[in-house]
């Protein structure tokens, strides 16, 4: 544990420097990392292909997304809207006199980031959590994912190079491969660790959450832990285009061998000819899908065993399977169906089967669909396929669905998570441990910040963002009014 202790102390010491740097310096570092990732060329793609079984095009796309994230959060960092600047000026005539108070978000300190296996670039070493933490002014300690250690090492080296190029202390970013659960726990409970970002399984995420909350001083954990991302099919919309909807569902279920956190694992419709037609077309679509290798043996085995367990449940019937593969790691697309009563009675069927699998639930009527919506666990996303009239006429269903998710999609699919300010990627437990924060989009920076109020400070001593002059033109709320101008003292 001595190494972990030394590492966290180094991260803390580096934070004393990094927290003082202007936002433009942080942004420069992030852009340098983005350029460095691109400069790694095909070499890093080959390493990642070997370690993850993901195809070249997907990995190149993911690297581009990772660089985009870094630049996008660098822009947001400089734009400063995440600083949540609030200024209330003094009123010395009031009885009692009112002091000048100004508030902004400040970094928390060293952030521990767990790399995710399904996104070796975008949610690993230089991924979204690292980018958000650096934008916030926090130092970062990455625990590499054991499924892609070489990819993680190469990206870590790229970050260190960027730090040197920018003239920053190297300990702003530290990278560690741990072997044991005890080491993981030591990182979470270390007094210098101020927050944790994680994407992975519920078992691991909940352990981290528990460790963090059992500390003498609990720390925030943002753990994203899986989701079945239900799709609700309303009858009128289905009668318009059951085949078209089935086609985009088949694509979303099998995209990336079903290894996305927003993969739709549950489709809920009302029995009738529209749903029959949907299931036929979905089956046709799935049967044409070739098997493809999954990320690693653990994920492929878990897919097989969770799928078998689901298919073994009473009243569950297989609707269709994709083309089967020849390799051990191959995941074969599979869809099954069950009626609403059996689904409601069996909690196992509510669980995520991580991979290209989805379960179609046939509800007796709209009332049963509402009961299923109300009983769902928290989700990253819910999707509704419905006409405008149907949505408008089912307020209770829409409220129940909204209540169970972080993103509500109309007539689209949940896969494809846009990196933008309006994105919320997070949701009620167990999809994440804190439904109040997102891990995608620049609002994710806030996960690693907290507010600090300055009362009665001289203008010269205030942080630049709160000074009267507002030299960077930040958006600030001044005496309850939004303003991008200076404060007239």
The reply on whether position 109 binds a second copy by CB under 8 A is yes
Cβ-in-10-Å burial (0-12, 13-18, 19+) of 207 comes to: middle
The reply on whether position 297 binds a second copy by CB under 8 A is no
Among 423, 445, 465, 487, binds a second copy (CB under 8 A): 423
Q: Is 456 in the site for a second copy (CB under 8 A)?
A: yes
Q: Is position 263 an interface residue for a second copy (rule: CB under 8 A)?
A: no
d(CA 445, CA 83): 9
Q: Which C-beta is closer to a second copy: that of 101 or that of 323? A: 101
Q: Are 373 and 346 in contact (CB under 8 A)?
A: no
Where is 7: in which H helix or E strand? helix 2-18
Of 148-156, 165-173, 358-366, 433-441, the window that binds a second copy (rule: CB under 8 A) is 433-441
Which residue from 69, 355, 426, 465 is in contact with a second copy, where contact means CB under 8 A? 426
Q: Is 416 in the site for a second copy (CB under 8 A)?
A: yes
Nearer to a second copy, 297 or 420 (CB): 420
CB 101, CB 453: distance < 8 Å: yes
Instruction: Out of 37, 286, 405, 465, name the contact with a second copy by CB under 8 A.
Output: 405
Contacting residue, 168, 174, 443, 470, with a second copy by CB under 8 A: 443
C-alpha span between 104 and 467 (Å, rounded)? 11
User: Rounded to 5 degrees, what are φ and ψ at 21?
Assistant: -70, 145
64 binds a second copy (CB under 8 A): no
Q: CB of 252: closest distance to a second copy in angstroms?
A: 13
- How many residues touch a second copy under the rule CB under 8 A: the total is 79
Active-site annotation, residues:
224, 261
How far apart (Å, rounded) are the C-alpha atoms in residues 433 and 453? 27
Rg, the chain, Cα only: 24
Please choose, out of 120-128, 228-236, 362-370, 473-481, the segment that lies near a second copy by the rule CB under 8 A: 473-481
Three-state SS for 233? Answer: strand
> Can residue 391 be called a binding residue for a second copy (CB under 8 A)?
yes
Contact 236, 389 (CB under 8 A): yes
CA dist., res. 445 & res. 134, Å (int):
8
Of residues 193 through 232, those in contact with a second copy by CB under 8 A are 209-210, 213, 217-218, 220
**CB within 8 A of 285, min separation 6: which ones?**
246, 247, 249, 250, 251
**Out of 13, 204, 370, 475, which residue is the one contacting a second copy (CB under 8 A)?**
475
Asked if 103 touches a second copy (CB under 8 A), the answer is yes
For a second copy, the closer CB: 327 or 459: 459
Question: Stretches 100-108, 144-152, 156-164, 359-367: which one binds a second copy (CB under 8 A)?
Answer: 100-108
| Closest to 418 (Cα-Cα) out of 206, 168, 203, 128 | 128
């Amino acid at each position: 544990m001595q190494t972990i202790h030394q590492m966290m102390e180094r991260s803390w010491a580096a934070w004393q420097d990094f927290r003082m740097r202007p936002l433009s310096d942080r942004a420069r570092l992030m852009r340098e990392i983005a350029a460095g990732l691109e400069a790694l060329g095909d070499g890093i793609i080959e390493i990642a292909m070997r370690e993850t079984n993901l195809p070249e095009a997907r990995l190149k796309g993911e690297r581009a997304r990772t660089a985009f994230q870094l630049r996008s959060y660098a822009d947001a960092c400089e734009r400063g809207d995440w600083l949540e600047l609030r200024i209330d000026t003094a009123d010395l005539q009031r009885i009692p006199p009112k002091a000048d108070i100004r508030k902004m978000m400040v970094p928390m300190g060293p952030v521990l980031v767990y790399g995710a296996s399904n996104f070796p670039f975008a949610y690993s070493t230089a991924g979204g959590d690292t980018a958000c933490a650096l934008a916030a002014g926090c130092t970062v300690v990455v625990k590499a994912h054991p499924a892609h250690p070489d990819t993680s090492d190469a990206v870590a080296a790229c970050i260190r190079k960027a730090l040197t190029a920018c003239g920053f202390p190297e300990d702003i970013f530290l990278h560690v491969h741990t072997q044991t659960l005890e080491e993981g726990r030591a990182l979470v409970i270390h007094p210098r660790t101020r927050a944790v970002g994680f994407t992975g399984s519920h078992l691991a995420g909940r352990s981290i959450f528990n460790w963090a909350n059992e500390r003498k001083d609990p720390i925030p954990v943002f753990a994203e832990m899986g989701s079945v991302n239900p799709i609700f099919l309303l009858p009128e919309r289905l009668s318009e285009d059951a085949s078209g909807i089935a086609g985009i569902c088949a694509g979303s279920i099998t995209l990336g061998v079903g290894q996305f956190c927003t993969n739709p694992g549950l489709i809920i419709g009302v029995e009738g000819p529209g749903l029959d037609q949907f299931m036929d077309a979905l089956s046709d679509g799935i049967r044409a899908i070739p098997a493809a290798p999954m990320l690693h043996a653990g994920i492929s085995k878990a897919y097989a065993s969770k799928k078998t367990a689901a298919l073994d449940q009473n009243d569950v019937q297989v609707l269709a399977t994709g083309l089967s593969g020849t390799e051990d790691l191959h995941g074969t697309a599979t869809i099954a169906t069950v009626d609403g009563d059996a689904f409601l009675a069996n909690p196992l069927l509510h669980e995520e089967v991580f991979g290209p699998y989805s379960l179609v639930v046939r509800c007796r009527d709209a009332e049963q669909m509402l009961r299923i919506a109300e009983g769902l666990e928290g989700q990253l996303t819910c999707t509704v396929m419905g006409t405008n009239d149907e949505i408008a006429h089912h307020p209770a269903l829409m409220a129940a669905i909204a209540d169970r998710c972080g993103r509500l999609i109309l007539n689209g699919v949940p896969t494809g998570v846009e990196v933008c300010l309006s994105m919320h990627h997070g949701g009620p437990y167990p999809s994440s441990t804190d439904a109040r924060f997102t891990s995608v989009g620049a609002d994710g920076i806030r996960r690693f910040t907290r507010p600090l109020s300055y009362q009665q400070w001289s203008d010269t001593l205030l942080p630049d963002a709160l000074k009267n002059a507002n030299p960077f033109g930040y958006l600030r709320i001044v005496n309850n009014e939004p303003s991008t101008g200076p404060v007239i003292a």
